[in-house]
Amino acid sequence: MSNQDKNFKWITKNFDELVKKYNNKWVAVCDEKVVGVEKSLTALKKKLENKYKTDDTVFEFITNKKFPGWDV
């Protein structure tokens, strides 16, 4: 399993807790931990450039809003 896959799996497993802390924000996850949070993806990527391997880092928008098709 790749590092990105592990990070996606970690986000899924911890999603409810992430929503409580970071609702409606972008998070960056590397090595199965949150390494950055911003309101904008551009700002988050800029903040983390040169700090983490972008190939391993997963960027995810955390929201408690449900979208059609996700609950199928």
Task: Give tens-digit pLDDT for 16-69.
Answer: 999 999 999 999 999 999 999 999 999 999 999 878 666 789 999 999 987 776
Residue whose C-alpha is closest to residue 65's, from 29, 37, 23, 36? 23
The pLDDT assigned to 50 comes to 78
**Strands ordered across the beta sheet of 25-30:** 33-38, 25-30, 58-62
The answer to whether residue 35 is domain-embedded is yes
User: What's the number of domains the chain is made of?
Assistant: 1
The answer to whether residue 67 is domain-embedded is no
The pLDDT assigned to 56 comes to 82
The pLDDT assigned to 61 comes to 96
The answer to whether residue 21 is domain-embedded is yes
pLDDT-derived band of residue 6, with 50, 70 and 90 as boundaries?
A: very high
